[in-house]
Amino acid sequence: QVQLVESGGGLVQAGGSLRLSCAASGLTFRSYTMGWFRQAPGKERDFVAAITWSDYYSSQYADSVKGRFTISRDNAKNTVYLQMNSLKPEDTGVYYCAAKYYGAYGRTESALYNYWGQGTQVTVSS
């Protein structure tokens, strides 16, 4: 049974930082592209960042978070991270970790992900 468990969310002031973690189990972690998505109240779930490992790490970011967020993964620990710096109120939402089998193709598309975590709330106050 595949499980993705997020942690690290919370309340932070604008300009602050948070680090989200997602621990995966029940899958061959290195074979999966790992992504982070977020959903604000009343809005659709949006792509934030994704990371793929083949012979090297390849990452991709939404334009709104480039230069502020960094995605990384530790294949030995089956864990993916999202370091979020210079947070803004518009970063508020529920952040979801997701796993997509094999490869970077379509990694910005939520419909192509196979497994999802339960989400962790991030609230950025102004």
pLDDT at residue 40, as a whole number: 95
- pLDDT tens track, the chain, 126 positions: 999 999 999 999 999 999 999 999 999 999 999 999 999 989 999 999 999 987 677 899 999 999 999 999 999 999 999 999 999 999 999 999 999 997 778 899 999 999 999 999 999 999
Residue whose pair of structure tokens reads 């970077």 in the numeric block = 104
Short-list 19, 35, 14, 36, CA closest to 91: 14
β-partners of residue 69 are: 84
With beta carbons less than 8 A apart as the criterion, state whether 79 and 22 touch.
yes
